[in-house]
Structure 1
């Protein structure tokens, strides 16, 4: 291991107690103790890149995603076979009855009864059972472990978190000139609204004054009752947007999950007079490319048919979400996330006001051509609400 203080190469004995034997100074993390990738030099370099050398503020959750050493995701599966308790609950009484029959009888009938008893026991012992499992994912190190290291050992060693990193478990400091809502633009005068379903992303935008810079209002919505139901989030989004004028453009930021990909089409259907730009994380990018965080969780509302018809997803993307896979928007590198939000707001402001039922969807990272004019739409026919610009790319590597 390289000492982060003096750059000396240290053996395990030379760094006992996380103190360098050469310079005598303490460091925070030891990969041999805290796991692969948990090294002061690596974490500091990741934080420096993520903050764009101090220009941006990022949250501790974002740093955790970027500092991950491994990421796994497993789809759910149904149980297979018969559980052992049920097998033996049936096999043992049957075998006992057959043995009793063999004892009480004789000749060929006794032989057949004994053979049947042995067969029942052999079959019961040879049968295998694989229990079912729910979709689940894992990031190494775990979030709680990483937070404890950064708030504990790292903060004690360096007297605080890395430069530009704020703990999102605590109130995030507002940029200079911002009011209590996190923006210097009055709510009654924004040029656009940024609707965000991820608390970490909303904190990142607020801490960097991005809504104020874009003269946009930031609307954070989430699942109030914790059930993950789309009606709850949609109702919260529509209620929050009610404070803005009806024609105000809206940029929707969301995770690559069923709730997220359906939110923009549903808002567009409920308020067709708004320009609704979907700037969320697209399923096609996450499913078909490396570098994104892939997780899995049970989602009873992940209906592949609805994802195809309402959100306009390709079959492969809808199936991927239907299996429980998803990816958080907060795991996108902060500089890329900032660029996407800026471009999405600019696109929303430049887009013409859509007539009723006009569809306007923009993808993530790659923008489509200029929106069709009403004349072009009438000539070619309008698409149903929810049809997006996602393209099928690659195969799932989750």
Structure 2
């Protein structure tokens, strides 16, 4: 291992207690203890790229996604076989009856009954049962482990998080010289609204002043997990949960005029892809731009964070009819797979929000022939500059969502 302080080569014995035997200084992470990839130099490099070499501020949750070493997602599995309790509840009385018949009779009938009773016991013991399993996923290291290391070992060694990284569990730091009572004034005359369903992304946008730069108001909507908690049991059907999330979003939008365009920034999950169509249906006079992570990019591109959870919100048919998704994308979401927009590289996320607001402001008022093309985010593709030929080509189309989104064929999650 290379010492992050003096760049000296250290053996296992030379870094006991995370102290360098050459310079005597403490470092934070040891790959032999904290897992592959958990090294100070790598985390610093990841943070440097994530902040675009200090230009952006990113949250600790975003740094966790960027610093992941492995990501797995497994589809759910239906139950197979007969449970052991039911199996023996049937097999034991049948076998006992056959053996009793063999004891009370003789000859061929007794022999056949005894053989049948033994066969029932053998078959019951040989049968196997696999219980149903919901869709599951795993990111290594886990979020709890990573946050504990950064707030514990890292801050103990360096007294603060990597440059440009803020702890999203704490309030944003005030600018230097600002009094506690001095807060940034709200946008007096906003030009657009940004509706975000992910708290990490909201904190990222606020920390970098992106809504203020765009003269936009940032609104937070209820995401999939919040909608599930609001139902109490989490077993409501997809229409009820979708309506609850859309109702919360409409309530947040009700304080602003219908002439303001809204940009919806969401995860690639069932709740996210349904949110923009439901808002358009409830407010047909408002320009609604779907700037969320496209399902096709989350499903088909390598390097994308893919997660899985039990889907209690909607089915593939509703995703096809309401959200207009292709068959493969709708089936992928209905199976429980999803991808968080907070895991998109911050530079790409910033560029996507800027482009989405720009196109929302330039879009014509919605009408019977107006097109709403969703999915500005592409991942992990680099953002296009405003003066690039591709960006000029996309801007010249005059319709939201043109130019960057791609759809690919299915790949294993």
Name the TM-score, length of structure 1 as normaliser: 0.90
Is residue 64 of structure 2 the alignment partner of residue 52 of structure 1? no
Distance change in 2, residues 1:170/1:142 (3 Å): same
- C-alpha displacement of 1:346: 0.5
Specify the SS of the correspondent of 2:349.
helix
Q: Corresponding residue for 1:394?
A: 409
Distance change in 2, residues 1:339/1:184 (3 Å): farther
Is residue 163 of structure 2 the alignment partner of residue 148 of structure 1? no
- C-alpha displacement of 1:56: 0.8
User: Deviation per CA, 1:163-196, whole angstroms, max 9, x where unpaired?
Assistant: 111111111236689999986552x510100000
| Equivalences for residues 89-168 of structure 1 within 5 A | 89-168=89-168
- C-alpha displacement of 1:226: 3.9
Q: Where in structure 1 are there 5+ consecutive unaligned residues?
A: 374-388
User: Partners of 1:64 and 1:317 in 2: how far apart?
Assistant: 27
Q: Corresponding residue for 2:261?
A: 249
Specify the SS of the correspondent of 1:263.
helix
Distance change in 2, residues 1:178/1:83 (3 Å): farther
User: Partners of 1:181 and 1:289 in 2: how far apart?
Assistant: 44
User: Partners of 1:43 and 1:103 in 2: how far apart?
Assistant: 75
C-alpha contact (below 8 Å) 2:377/2:405 kept by paired residues: no
Tell which deviates more after alignment, 87-96 or 328-337: 87-96
- C-alpha displacement of 1:69: 0.9
Distance change in 2, residues 1:87/1:12 (3 Å): same
Q: Corresponding residue for 2:15?
A: 15
C-alpha contact (below 8 Å) 2:349/2:377 kept by paired residues: no
Tell which deviates more after alignment, 96-105 or 146-155: 96-105
User: Deviation per CA, 1:93-124, whole angstroms, max 9, x where unpaired?
Assistant: 22222122212211101110111011101111
User: Partners of 2:369 and 2:336 in 1: how far apart?
Assistant: 31
C-alpha contact (below 8 Å) 1:82/1:129 kept by paired residues: yes
What is the Cα-based RMSD across aligned positions, in Å? 2.3
Specify the SS of the correspondent of 1:217.
strand
User: Partners of 2:285 and 2:270 in 1: how far apart?
Assistant: 24
Is residue 340 of structure 2 the alignment partner of residue 328 of structure 1? yes
Specify the SS of the correspondent of 1:132.
coil
Q: Corresponding residue for 1:370?
A: 397
- C-alpha displacement of 1:363: 2.5
Q: Where in structure 2 are there 5+ consecutive unaligned residues?
A: 235-240, 379-393
User: Partners of 1:169 and 1:268 in 2: how far apart?
Assistant: 33
Specify the SS of the correspondent of 1:54.
coil
Specify the SS of the correspondent of 1:63.
helix
User: Partners of 2:375 and 2:116 in 1: how far apart?
Assistant: 65
User: Partners of 1:217 and 1:269 in 2: how far apart?
Assistant: 22
C-alpha contact (below 8 Å) 2:74/2:308 kept by paired residues: yes
Tell which deviates more after alignment, 134-143 or 87-96: 87-96
- C-alpha displacement of 1:7: 1.5
C-alpha contact (below 8 Å) 1:175/1:209 kept by paired residues: no
- C-alpha displacement of 1:210: 0.3
Residue number among 311, 316, 321 corresponding to 1:304 in the alignment? 316
What is the total number of aligned residue pairs between the two structures?
382
User: Partners of 2:203 and 2:150 in 1: how far apart?
Assistant: 19
Q: Corresponding residue for 1:275?
A: 287
User: Partners of 2:250 and 2:343 in 1: how far apart?
Assistant: 26
Q: Corresponding residue for 1:212?
A: 212
- C-alpha displacement of 1:218: 0.6
User: Partners of 2:174 and 2:202 in 1: how far apart?
Assistant: 12
Distance change in 2, residues 1:348/1:183 (3 Å): farther
User: Partners of 1:390 and 1:226 in 2: how far apart?
Assistant: 33
